[in-house]
Amino acid sequence: MSSSASAPARPKPRIANQLIVYDFDWSLADQDTDRWVLEVLAPALRRRMKSLKATGTVQYTDLVAQMMRELRALGHTKAEVLDALKGMPFHPAMRRAVLEMKHRAEPSTDFLVLSNANSVYIGTILAHQGLERVMQEVITNPAEWSKEDPELLVVRRRVPPEGRQHGCTVGCSANMCKGEELTNFLARHGKPFDRMVYVGDGANDFCPILRLREQDLALVRRHRGLEARIAKDGASAGLKCQVQYWTGAWEVEEIFATLT
Ligand SMILES: [Mg+2]
Ligand SMILES: [Zn+2]
């Protein structure tokens, strides 16, 4: 085959195995779990969360934990929280995209969820959407229903405030460095992936995508923090991966179909 001047004749490397990493809120799911639960059950607390966050004095995961205690103090129950989560927007095209990719013989795909939400929120929604078994691992903040009060959700930081803190200089919140978590996951997994794809939207997804290679792909949701952070710091921080933008989940489904 002859090569033209415009298209270098470089054979496309075969992709036998790939890892697809999903941020959860506004990426895999079409809403933000922490805020949604409050919007559904106690809008005044949703407003209070926004005001407290704006003060910048409370770490985000601690703030969510506090909101859950206040939600409980207002009399709200575990069943109400679970119902709110099951009713949270989740785009059918995103669900289809994941299942279709998982069922493809080649490339073989491992899925990882890497999220600043919590294990109960994510576990509830994944189970409700029939995606629980598709995910190799869910890396997030630990949460559990309290032993003393089974109606209270206790949310803790992935990296506890006592003990060694992560050394991230990119801007991850104290509860978790998503970049470090991705690196640790890859080390645990052992064998390398021919391609990694990261689906994200938030400013805190910038750190993990800095760890992607040239053959990897970041699927970045438009009009949110990650797009702005890439525009501001992508070049100076040495972002190496390819970047494709999307707005609706149906576009991710389209892009997945091209990932042969
Ligand atoms: Mg997000
Ligand atoms: Zn980080």
Task: Give pLDDT, residue 1.
Answer: 45
> Is residue 59, in this structure, part of any structural domain at all?
yes
Mean local confidence (pLDDT), 142-164 = 96
Look at residue 170 and give its three-state secondary structure: coil
Cα 149 to middle of ligand 1, angstroms: 30
Residue 66 CB-density burial (10 A; 0-12 exposed, 13-18 middle, 19+ buried)? middle
Domain extent for 68: 17-258
Residues 6+ apart with CB under 8 A from 203: 171, 225, 226, 228, 229
Is 216 marked as a binding-site residue? no
Letter for the amino acid at 28? L
> Is residue 252, in this structure, part of any structural domain at all?
yes
In the chain, beta strands by DSSP E: 17-22, 108-118, 135-141, 143-145, 153-155, 195-200, 217-221, 242-246
Rounded-to-integer distance, Cα 166 and Cα 33, Å: 25
Mean local confidence (pLDDT), 154-168 = 94
In 3D, which of 180, 176, 172 has the Cα closest to residue 202? 172
Cα 243 to middle of ligand 2, angstroms: 19
> Is residue 45, in this structure, part of any structural domain at all?
yes
CB under 5 Å of ion ligand 1: residues: 23, 25-27, 201-202
256, 97 contact by CB (below 8 A) = yes
234, 209 contact by CB (below 8 A) = no
pLDDT band at 13 (very low <50, low <70, confident <90, very high): confident
Longest dimension (CA), the chain: 73
pLDDT over threshold 90, residue 11: no
Q: Which ligand is nearest to the CA of 116?
A: 1
pLDDT band at 12 (very low <50, low <70, confident <90, very high): confident
pLDDT over threshold 70, residue 4: no
Condensed to tens digits (0 to 9), the pLDDT of residues 31-45 reads 999 999 999 999 999
> Is residue 3, in this structure, part of any structural domain at all?
no
pLDDT band at 3 (very low <50, low <70, confident <90, very high): very low
Number of residues that this document lists for the chain = 260
pLDDT band at 9 (very low <50, low <70, confident <90, very high): low
Catalytic residues: 23, 25
Q: Which two tokens stand for residue 17?
A: 């195995």
> Is residue 11, in this structure, part of any structural domain at all?
no
CA-to-CA dists, residue 80 to 29, 38, 50, 75, 77, angstroms: 19, 11, 21, 10, 5
Which residue is listed with tokens 């003060």?
55
> Is residue 127, in this structure, part of any structural domain at all?
yes
pTM for the predicted model, two decimal places:
0.94
Task: Give pLDDT, residue 221.
Answer: 98
Condensed to tens digits (0 to 9), the pLDDT of residues 181-237 reads 999 999 999 989 999 999 999 999 999 999 999 999 999 999 999 999 999 999 999
Domain holding 173: CATH number?
3.40.50.1000
Q: Which ligand is nearest to the CA of 178?
A: 2
Condensed to tens digits (0 to 9), the pLDDT of residues 66-104 reads 999 999 999 999 999 999 999 999 999 999 999 999 999
Percent of the chain with pLDDT over 70: 97
pLDDT over threshold 50, residue 136: yes
> Is residue 10, in this structure, part of any structural domain at all?
no
Cα 1 to middle of ligand 1, angstroms: 44
Cα 52 to middle of ligand 2, angstroms: 23
Q: List phi, psi (to 5°) of 117.
A: -75, -135
> Is residue 164, in this structure, part of any structural domain at all?
yes
Is 25 marked as a binding-site residue? yes
Q: What's the mean pLDDT when you consider all of the chain?
A: 95
Percent of the chain with pLDDT over 90: 93
Number of domains in the chain: 1
